[in-house]
Amino acid sequence: MKLVLPALARPLVEAQLPAGLDIHWFANLDEAIDMVADADIGWVDNNGPANWARAVAAGRRLQWLSTIYAGLDPLDKDQLRAQGTRVTNGSGVNAHTVAEYAVLGALVAAKRFDQVVRIADTHVWPFDAPGKLELFETNALVIGYGTIGRLIGERLAAFGVTVTGVTRTGAAGTIGPDAWRERLAEFDWVFLAAPATDQSRAMIGEAELKAMKPSAWVINVGRGELIDQDALIDAVTKRRIAGAFLDTVTPEPLPPEHPLWTAPNIILSMHLSGRSQTRMFVRAAALFVKNIHAFVEGRPLENEVDLEAGY
């Protein structure tokens, strides 16, 4: 059984791999594409999302594809389904840092700490605070109450926020995907932690923004495609909502001339949430080791993706 892995992971996983595998270590994209062509198992995502898609497309014989990423947006999922490739993702390996960033977004927005930093840069001592919102006794909607969403909810609850989670199934303690829109006027914070699918793209559009409180903030740590950005720019410009903290946008990187950079009360964090850590790769390697033993032994894989749903 041929296994293709990133050379960066070798010190973390080599000693823990099952015996009898034909293991190949790649150091760059060309090596990954060449090695994965006849591989049975591949972890080939260490060259960025676009190059990852190229490497995966070359793996026509893959029985199992492992990835550090949570979302599969760049991949040809139809090809993977057609060739019977099982996929496990990295959901959870950086969940804590993304959840922390989401709560950071709410705190920055509540206290307008972005403005505090700019005031400090002018060496001026203000006698009033630019942001006066409290998280205490507010209401938050978290759309996408999976691993990251639940962690966001737990952290918000510690601030005294009442949290309502949205799941695809309407699992216990959450509401279903058709119930949240009619309740938007209840919430001070709308957190997006959902994957980008055909059903979720532009889920926050003109109608949803008009339904929110004028004082509401949107916090997006999911995917940029979840928001109709033109509608959002219009909403903040016309003060229909208070603002948005966007860790993810579309496209990425955001072009310098894009109007999101200058739209009022839009705070951008340039998709740094998942990069604001030092342990993601170590956790991903540990997950791979657990799953390679499960795969070889015929046991269920952790974090296996439903390719039909996309996550």
Please report the DSSP string for the chain in residue order.
-EEEEEGGGHHHHGGGSPTT-EEEEESSHHHHHHHHTT-SEE---TT-HHHHHHHHHH-TT-SEEE-S-S--TTS-HHHHHHTT-EEE--TTTTHHHHHHHHHHHHHHHHHTHHHHHHHHHTT---SS-S----STT-EEEEE--SHHHHHHHHHHHHTT-EEEEE-SS--TTEE-TTTSGGGGGG-SEEEE-----TTTTT-B-HHHHHHS-TT-EEEE-S-GGGB-HHHHHHHHHTTSSSEEEES--SSSSPPTT-GGGTSTTEEE-TT-GGGS-S-HHHHHHHHHHHHHHHHHHTPPPTTB--TTTT-
Question: pLDDT-derived band of residue 196, with 50, 70 and 90 as boundaries?
Answer: confident
- Report if residue 293 sits inside a domain: yes
Taking the whole predicted model, whether its pTM rises above 0.75 is answered as: yes
How many angstroms separate the CA atoms of 220 and 126, rounded?
Answer: 30
Average pLDDT, the chain: 96
- Rounded distance, CA 286 to CA 93, Å? 10
128 and 263 housed in the same domain: yes
Are 42 and 111 in the same domain? no
Quick one: which of 219, 213, 211 has its CA closest to 182? 211
In this prediction, residue 309 carries a pLDDT of 77
Please report how the helices 113-121 and 95-111 are oriented relative to each other, as an axis angle in degrees rounded to 10: 70
**What pLDDT does residue 311 have?**
74
- Domain hosting 157: range is 95-275
The per-residue pLDDT for 12 is: 97
In this model, does residue 197 exceed pLDDT 90? no
Residues 126 and 200 in one domain: yes
The number of domains in the chain is 2
Say if residue 112 is in the same domain as residue 154.
Answer: yes
pLDDT of the residue at 290: 98
Q: Does residue 307 lie within any of the structural domains?
A: no
**At 73, is the pLDDT very low, low, confident or very high (cuts 50, 70, 90)?**
confident
| Same domain (yes/no): 103, 177 | yes
| pLDDT tens profile 237-295 | 999 999 999 999 999 999 999 999 999 999 999 999 999 999 999 999 999 999 999 99
Question: What tens digit of pLDDT does each residue of 111-140 get?
Answer: 999 999 999 999 999 999 999 999 999 999
Judge if 86 and 115 occupy the same domain: no
| Within a domain: 161 | yes
Q: What is the pLDDT of residue 96?
A: 95
Asked whether residue 254 falls in the same domain as residue 151, the answer is: yes
